[in-house]
Amino acid sequence: DQQVKQNSPSLSVQEGRISILNCDYTNSMFDYFLWYKKYPAEGPTFLISISSIKDKNEDGRFTVFLNKSAKHLSLHIVPSQPGDSAVYFCAASRFGNEKLTFGTGTRLTIIP
């Protein structure tokens, strides 16, 4: 039972444009959400997070939006740069709980 779903395995975006990565979850107990970025031959690295008391969190070019009623979150990257090409994982947990549930990942390719 996949509680965190990333339905797009891959996404290609032109450099300078906006990249939008989507994530859906089914467990209504989740109240803390994270995005991780992974380059080949490296482990995932933390990118940005959001708690359920907010609907938006911004950090530079990265913004995460949370729609609790739809159980949906998205990561926006503006403007997209070649170095953003990586696999992005969405993850969810109950705040304070060490157990993170990850999605299957979306491979983002930025086209120069």
Partner 1 sequence: DAGVIQSPRHEVTEMGQEVTLRCKPISGHNSLFWYRQTMMRGLELLIYFNNNVPIDDSGMPEDRFSAKMPNASFSTLKIQPSEPRDSAVYFCASSGFGFRYFGPGTRLTVT
- List interacting residues with partner 1 (CB under 8 A): 2, 4, 6, 41-46, 89, 91, 98-105
Q: Kindly tell me which of 60 and 96 has the beta carbon lying closer to partner 1.
A: 96
Q: Kindly tell me which of 2 and 14 has the beta carbon lying closer to partner 1.
A: 2
Least distance in angstroms from the C-beta of 66 to partner 1? 19
What letter does residue 40 receive in the DSSP assignment?
Answer: T
In total, the chain counts a number of residues equal to: 112
Least distance in angstroms from the C-beta of 26 to partner 1? 14
Q: Kindly tell me which of 10 and 67 has the beta carbon lying closer to partner 1.
A: 10
Q: How far is CA 96 from CA 2, 30, 52, 99, in A?
A: 21, 11, 13, 9
Least distance in angstroms from the C-beta of 59 to partner 1? 14
Q: Kindly tell me which of 20 and 100 has the beta carbon lying closer to partner 1.
A: 100
Closest CA to 45 of 96, 93, 87: 87
Check: CB of residue 49 under 8 Å from CB of residue 35: yes
- Rounded Cα distance between 21 and 35, Å, is 10
